[in-house]
Structure 1
């Protein structure tokens, strides 16, 4: 197929017309994407060449009666097959459309996967939140029960104080009495010594 590709200059020289004429007719092609050779020069396929040749012949009304019969027959066989060209273009458009649809389908599929993952994460988060709430309530109830054990009521405190061993209270009372006696004895001793000093000075 590559040998059928020709540049605009090659066609202009072959057909005896200007490059501008060919470039003008190139605008009539439905396929706007131009092929290039390894040098980056625009080239036309055989079908595109036939299409443009038909346009050129129609415009210039060239008379081919002076050409040999064989060449006329060959040219007749090479008459532009516009229908085939258009069919090829339509097929190319369909391929491109199918590719774009496949890409869109893949994107939609990826979006569906992402939505499913997000929904799953949301469900997990809600379950964890419920578990946290339940644990918090359990901890609170346990904490309240511990507080009730550690902090007895006022009635319990009074009961505990009234249940103290009587011997302990009696011993405390005797100690207090002994201390009071000791203090009184000390006061009396102090008073007597101050009286002695007072009499001594007299």
Structure 2
């Protein structure tokens, strides 16, 4: 037989147990770990030998445990990443909704500011029109008032100055 392949007898001699003990262990192995038969004899490769030794407690199944653990860890990491991605997707959706609301509010604010500006311009135009309408009458009234003041002052001045001049001449 080759070095990699062994029979039950060779493995039993190597381990110091009987062939019947190796036969019992092989029958207790799971179907996926059962070695192949060639005719009526089992031909054991290195993996089969390892599985038998693990079942006997001679070897630890660290390699398969590590592989299984790594697969479990990888799967858990994968699930965690999926959860994180879903959470980030929800956060992005929420942020997009907030952005839309903010944009709508900004648009409304700009429209209101434009309406306010238009109203102010209209009010200024109305005030100018009203001032233009009231300005001529106010100018006429001011002219009338100023004319009355000048006419009222002038007779007093005429009366007072002539007396003074006369009085000064007579003295």
**TM-score by structure 2 length?**
0.57
Unaligned runs of 5+ in 1: 1-57, 65-71, 198-202
Q: In structure 2, which of residues 116, 136, 158 is the aligned counterpart of residue 184 of structure 1?
A: 158
Shift of 1:178: 3.1
**Partners of 1:82 and 1:113 in 2: CA distance:** 51
Give the equivalent residue in structure 1 for 2:81: 104
Query: Which residues in structure 2 correspond to 1:1-202 (within 5 Å)?
Result: 64=16, 72-73=17-18, 76=22, 80-81=50-51, 85=61, 87-152=64-129, 156-157=133-134, 159-161=136-138, 169=144, 173=147, 176-197=150-171
Structure 2: which 5+ runs fail to align? 1-10, 26-48, 55-60
**Root mean square deviation of aligned Cα:** 3.7
Whose helix fraction is larger, Structure 1's or Structure 2's? Answer: 2
- Counterpart CA distance in 1 for 2:151 and 2:69 is 121
What is the total number of aligned residue pairs between the two structures?
127
Q: Offset of 1:172 from its aligned partner?
A: 6.5
Change (3 A) 1:82 1:148: farther
Displacement of 1:63: 8.1
C-alpha change, 1:149 and 1:83, in structure 2 (3 Å) is: farther
User: Residues of 1 paired with 2:164 and 2:15: CA distance?
Assistant: 162
| Deviation per residue, 1:26-58 (Å, 9 max, x gap) | xxxxxxxxxxxxxxxxxxxxxxxxxxxxxxxx9
Alpha-carbon offset, residue 149 of structure 1: 2.1
Which range moved further: 77-86 or 183-192? Answer: 77-86
- Alignment CA distance shift 1:162-1:174 (3 Å): closer
